[in-house]
Structure 1
């Protein structure tokens, strides 16, 4: 088909209001060509956060422990302590399950390093104090912490009353707001590391 014949057919179809399919397909050559994403929308996806560096892992961020709403409480630590590790574990498990039942936002459940306590008995008043004190028994204190955030102020007294009703003997329950001191108490102090740091500081000062 010549160019003039094609033009006459196109003009005739334009006047009638119709379009010939053969001519329309032959004129749209861009369908088989790459578009290189021209005309598409970009930047609508939510950008992903950058990966967490190793130095930022384990750092304490106080803004994460604040409550979202005004009638909610900040991060609370339910500290369960006692000398019997079986009772401490069972009661800490009960506190954890109770928080799950009331659909509370549990951040962490962890254990603190145990501490030892020596109970001594005084033999007589005539002897000196240092000689009269003899070790009788050594006790170990165990602690478990259930950390809850965004607890409603109306639910807090109900939960606390339920926990105090089922607390066993020789177990202590303490509720406190999370702070930096409690965060640092999770890590055990190393005397050897402090001595090595002091030796390094002396070497730097001697230069």
Structure 2
């Protein structure tokens, strides 16, 4: 036999044995299941793999700066009046009908925007509840006859011209709906505190803690 052909056949024999051995090793450690008398190899590599850390993504995001604690809302400095302009004015609208009060406050706000009057804020004050008590004839007991709720809205304006102020107030009074009260006054610190409801129980607990 030709020595060259014998070497080629020997190499092929070695390659065939190596391939068969690799198949045997791979099939030896794979789980087998019997389906209809036939052996089926099922590859389930994920069973032997750890699952901790799957789904975590926060380490991929850039680090954010620590959030600062919210500071208490402080009152803004009140602008002082000049010879030609008023300071900060509160245009207050109040009444028992919330719809009328809300619409009239919106009308005042839109009017200020059209007339280029600076509107600093527009907010609602806490609703006030008033109970109407009556006394029956020949009796000393009082009974609640009705409960009235007073709604109030404030449009805070500034830099209103002293010459233009009478015209502005005349327009507001002519368009004032029935049952709605209108008042215009200078903004003070007491008006700012009135925006928040008093919580005496919480204040008492804070005083005890401190």
SS of the aligned residue for 1:81 comes to: strand
SS in 1 for 2:127: strand
The structure 2 residue matched to 1:147, chosen from 116, 136, 156, is: 156
Distance 1:82 1:200 in 2: 40
- Residue number in structure 2 paired with 1:168: 177
Which residue does 1:87 correspond to in 2? 100
Aligned residues between the structures? 143
The Cα RMSD (Å) is: 2.0
Identify the residue that residue 40 of structure 2 maps to in structure 1. none
Q: Is the 8 A contact 1:74 1:151 kept in 2?
A: yes
For normalisation by structure 2, the TM-score amounts to 0.63
The Cα of 1:103 is off from its aligned counterpart by 0.5
Residue in 2 that maps onto 1:42:
none
What is the CA–CA distance in structure 1 between the aligned matches of 2:169 and 2:122, rounded to whole Å? Answer: 18
Q: Which residue of 2 aligns with 1:20?
A: none
Larger radius of gyration: 2
1:112 correspondence with 2:125: yes
Deviation at 1:54, TM superposition (A): 4.6
Counterpart in 2 of 1:34?
none
Residue 127, structure 1, aligned to residue 154, structure 2: no
Does residue 65 of the first structure (1) align with residue 79 of the second (2)? yes
- Matched residues in 2 for 1:138 and 1:121: separation? 12
Structure 1 gap segments, 5+ residues each: 1-52, 202-207
Distance 1:195 1:151 in 2: 42
Kindly state the Cα deviation for residue 156 of structure 1 after the two structures are TM-superposed. 0.8
1:22-41 aligned within 5 A = none
Return the alpha-carbon distance in structure 1 between the equivalents of residues 74 and 91 of structure 2: 21
Q: Is the 8 A contact 1:65 1:75 kept in 2?
A: yes
Counterpart CA distance in 2 for 1:141 and 1:199 is 34
The one of the two structures with greater contact order (alpha-carbon pairs below 8 A, sep at least 6) is: 1
TM-score by length of 1: 0.64
Contact 1:65–1:178 (Cα < 8 Å) also in 2: no
Aligned 8 A contact 1:77 1:146 in 2: yes
Matched, 1:98 2:107: no
Change (3 A) 1:183 1:199: same
Which string of whole-angstrom CA distances, capped at 9 and with x for unpartnered residues, describes residues 33-81 of structure 1? xxxxxxxxxxxxxxxxxxxx953x621133x4224x4210010000000
For 1:79 and 1:182, how far apart are their aligned partners in 2? 11
Inter-partner Cα distance in structure 2 for 1:149 and 1:93: 17
Structure 1: distance between partners of 2:200 and 2:103: 33
Extract unaligned runs of 5+ from structure 2: 1-68
